[in-house]
């Protein structure tokens, strides 16, 4: 069991390793596209695309954590106030905190784009053994996010959809 204290509201956030809507897995779009286009042979060995050998090849999605460990990061969403804690790649240290705001801030459509999976959806992916190319059609992205250093814009269905929520980065003391 892991836990941290929300740096905005001060409430305790606990994650038990089973889905509870707190932990989310985040991929920059370029890394997500890499994941779903990577080709594996029958032994789950990564293949070079230039080999162009016909497929499909089975991909054991339950090894996704190891196969793409540098391509994603995790965020926790406080169930009390909605504050987002962004972890570094180690998954141990919080590198940024964003809190929901009511202000309307114009979306920067040129900022970095991300796809986010709730722990409920991510567990379905990580527990499946299906061809990697089928992941985008079988599993639903929970949120689309556009982010820069100051704001996160949460979008419900795709990168052109209307903004659901805006989060502003807050300064946090070093822990």
Cβ pair 113, 145 in contact under 8 A: yes
- Please list the pLDDT of the chain residue by residue as tens digits (175 residues): 578 899 889 999 988 777 788 999 999 999 988 887 776 665 656 655 555 555 545 555 567 777 778 889 999 999 999 999 999 877 788 999 999 999 888 888 889 999 999 998 888 887 777 776 777 888 889 999 999 989 999 998 888 888 789 999 997 655 4
Does 131 map to a domain? yes
Does 81 map to a domain? yes
DSSP 61: G
Does 109 map to a domain? yes
Q: Which positions ≥6 away from 96 have C-beta within 8 Å?
A: 85, 86, 169
Domain of 164? 2-170
Does 175 map to a domain? no
* Distance spanning both ends of the chain, measured CA to CA: 20
Cβ pair 116, 141 in contact under 8 A: yes
How many domains would you assign to the chain? 1
Does 50 map to a domain? yes
Does 26 map to a domain? yes
Does 42 map to a domain? yes
Note the pLDDT tens digit of each residue in 61-106. Answer: 567 777 778 889 999 999 999 999 999 877 788 999 999 999 888 8
CA nearest to 14, candidates 63, 62, 70, 85? 85
Does 53 map to a domain? yes
CA nearest to 135, candidates 37, 6, 65, 49? 37
Angstrom distance (rounded) from CA 139 to CA 118: 11
The HSE-up count of residue 24 (CA atoms within 13 Å, CB side) is 24
């Amino acid at each position: 069991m892991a836990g941290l204290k929300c740096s905005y509201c001060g409430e305790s956030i606990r994650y038990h390793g089973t889905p509870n809507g707190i932990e989310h897995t985040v991929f920059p779009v370029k890394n997500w596209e890499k994941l779903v286009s990577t080709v594996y042979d029958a032994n789950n060995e990564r293949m070079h695309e230039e080999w162009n050998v016909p497929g499909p090849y089975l991909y054991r999605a339950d090894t996704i954590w190891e196969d793409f460990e540098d391509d994603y990061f995790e965020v926790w969403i406080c169930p009390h106030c909605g504050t987002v804690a962004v972890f570094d790649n180690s998954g141990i240290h919080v590198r940024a905190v964003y809190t929901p705001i009511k202000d309307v801030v114009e979306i920067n459509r040129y900022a970095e784009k991300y796809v986010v999976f709730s722990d409920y959806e991510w567990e379905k992916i990580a527990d499946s053994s299906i061809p990697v190319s089928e992941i985008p059609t079988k599993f639903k992205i929970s949120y689309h996010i556009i982010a820069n250093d100051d704001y996160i814009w949460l979008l419900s269905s795709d990168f052109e959809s209307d903004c659901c929520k805006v989060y502003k980065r807050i300064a946090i003391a070093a822990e």
